[in-house]
Every structure is written in C-alpha cells, then in structure tokens.
Amino acid sequence: MKKRLLAMMALFALVLTAGFAVGCGDDDDDSGSDTTASGGGGDLELLEDGQLLVGTDTPFPPFEIGQPPDISGYDIEVMNAIGEKLGVEVTYQDTGFDTIFRDVANGQFDSAAAASTITPERQEKVNFTDPYYEAQQALLVPEGSDIATTADLGGVIVGAQDGTTGETFANDETDASEVRGFPEGPDAVAALSTGQVEAVIIDQPVAVDAVEKTGGVEIAEEIPTNELYGFAVALDKTNLVEAMNGALVELKDDGTLADLYQQYFQTDPPASVLDG
C-alpha cells in the first residue's frame, strides 16, 4: 500500500512538472514570437508580413532617382537601411505627391518616402517618423534673369510642384501673378527652361541638382525655411512608426545617416535631425 501510494505521488509530481514545463514553453514561444515579429514585420501592422510597401514620388533627385524597382536616392537609401534594421523587405511604388498622404492614410501603402516636410496640416492625415533631413527652399531662375529674390516675384508666373511646401510658399509669401503647379519637380524645372514660367520655388537640393544637370538655370536665392522631412505612416500604425523611429535612432547613432548625408549633400546632418 505504501509503495502504491509513493508511486501515485511520484506520478502526480511528474504531471505537475510536465504541466509547468508546457506553461513555460508557451510563454517562451509567445515572447519569441514578439521578438521575431519586431524583426520580421509580424507585429508592425504591415499590409503584408515581412514586406514594407512604400509609396514614393519619383523622380525628385537627389531624394528619389529612377523608377521602381530600379530606384535610388537619399530617401530610398535611408528607408532601405530602416528596412534592414527591422528585418523586412522594402518595396516601392510610384504615386503622385498630391495624393500620397491620402494613400498612406487609406492603407494603400505602409509608409511614404517622398521628401515630405512634416507640417501640422499633414499630421492631421498621417503620422510622421522622427526627422531624417532638414530642408530649405530655393528660388530657381533662368541664367541672367533680373529676378534676384522672392521680393522680385510680383507679377511673375512661378512654377512649383503640386502639393509641396514650395507651392505653399509661392502662394502665401510672394506676389506672383500666378503659381502654376506641376505633377513632378522636374516638370517645373523643364517649364522654367522652356519659358513657360519665369521662376520656380523648389527644395534646395533639387534646385542644386537642376543647376548641375539641366543647365541654363541658376539659384537666385536660398530661402531659409528649416523644414524637417519625415516618413509618413498611417495614424493607427503606432507599432510601425515606433519601430521605424527606433531604427532611425540606430542609424543616427552608428553613423549611417551621417555617411548618407555626406554622400548626397556633402555636409553633416544638423542637430535638428540628429536630436529629432
């Protein structure tokens, strides 16, 4: 009887031990799943697990160059580096800048990389990551133009890309007779070269690229606007924006962002970007 009792007690202890092990195993599996999800897209609220679908507006050199899948540029390299940190594949789809924030908000893309200034109006539609670039605007004119500053734009037809802060500046801060919008930044530059417009307001690095590669145009004035670019994310994708911010912190700390700044702009990132 005693032996039988001892055997039953031993069996009961074994069952309890096995049950405890299974319980611990479940906890480990759950925590392991969370860990791998943050590296593989499982809990990032992505449209497709393991893939970060990014809307972009290209060309807009040096931020976006070429067409998907053969696309490069500063924005693209930063986004690819974020994807590598998150352990997801980044894919790109070209779209119009004037609808890109609506597209992100409606779930057409996981994020947008399109040289996008963080503004209060846009933050009503989408969230933004921490900044990865500080931008100024520039006044681009034909070589030899009498236009020297934005104060000379009274009665002038000014070109800008649709939906951009350059277009907003031209409308709100100048006395231009007309602000003519174009679907792409290079379209506005082309209109300047062919005489359809007399000046263009556009992001300063894009203006520099136009001077170097288009010819026949020059920067009359750099306009200090101190805009900060961020990657757009839908308002309800809090896990994704937090993960992207974490990746950006790593890229700032390990020098990757500084290297890309030097590669594309030949300068160091300012404190507003590194500390943002």
- Cα(259)–Cα(267) distance, integer angstroms: 9
Tokens read off for 100 = 């890109």
pLDDT digits (tens, 9 = 90+) for 230-250: 999 999 999 999 999 999 999
- Return d(Cα 42, Cα 34) in angstroms, integer: 8
Q: Is 67 left (phi over 0), alpha (psi -120 to 50) or beta?
A: beta
State the virtual CA torsion across 90, 93, 98, 103 in degrees, nearest 10. -70
pTM for the full model? 0.82
Per-residue pLDDT, 276: 84
Domain 135-227: which CATH class?
alpha beta
What are residue 159's DSSP bridge partners? 180, 200
The structural domains of the chain, with segments of one domain joined by +, span 51-132+230-274, 135-227
Q: Residues 86-109: what's their mean pLDDT?
A: 97
Q: What is the pLDDT of residue 6?
A: 39
7 pLDDT above the threshold of 50: no
Residue 270 sits at φ, ψ, to 5 deg, of -75, 170
Q: What's the CA dihedral at 216, 220, 223, 227 to 10 degrees?
A: 10
Taking only the tens place, the pLDDT of each residue in 103-129 is 999 999 999 999 999 999 999 999 999
Q: Is residue 63's pLDDT more than 50?
A: yes
- Rounded mean pLDDT, 163-175: 97
39 versus 83: which is more confidently predicted? 83
Q: How far apart are CA 50 and CA 276, in angstroms?
A: 27
Q: Write the Ramachandran bin of 164: left for phi over 0, alpha for psi from -120 to 50, otherwise beta.
A: beta
Could you read off the pLDDT of 44-53 as tens digits, one per residue?
999 999 999 9
**Which amino acid, one-letter code, is at 193?**
S
Mean pLDDT across 195-220: 96
pLDDT in tens, 124-149: 999 999 999 999 999 999 999 999 99
Torsion of CA 127, 129, 131, 137, to 10 degrees: -40
Q: How high is the mean pLDDT of the chain?
A: 88
Crossing angle (nearest 10°) for helices 74-86 and 256-265: 160
Residue 10 has pLDDT above 90, yes or no: no
* Identical fold between 51-132+230-274 and 135-227: yes
How much is the average pLDDT of 194-217? 96
Residues paired with 201 in a beta bridge: 139
Average pLDDT over residues 58-64: 96
Q: For the domain bounded by 51-132+230-274, which CATH number is listed?
A: 3.40.190.10
Residue with the larger pLDDT of the pair 20 and 83: 83
pLDDT band at 42 (very low <50, low <70, confident <90, very high): low
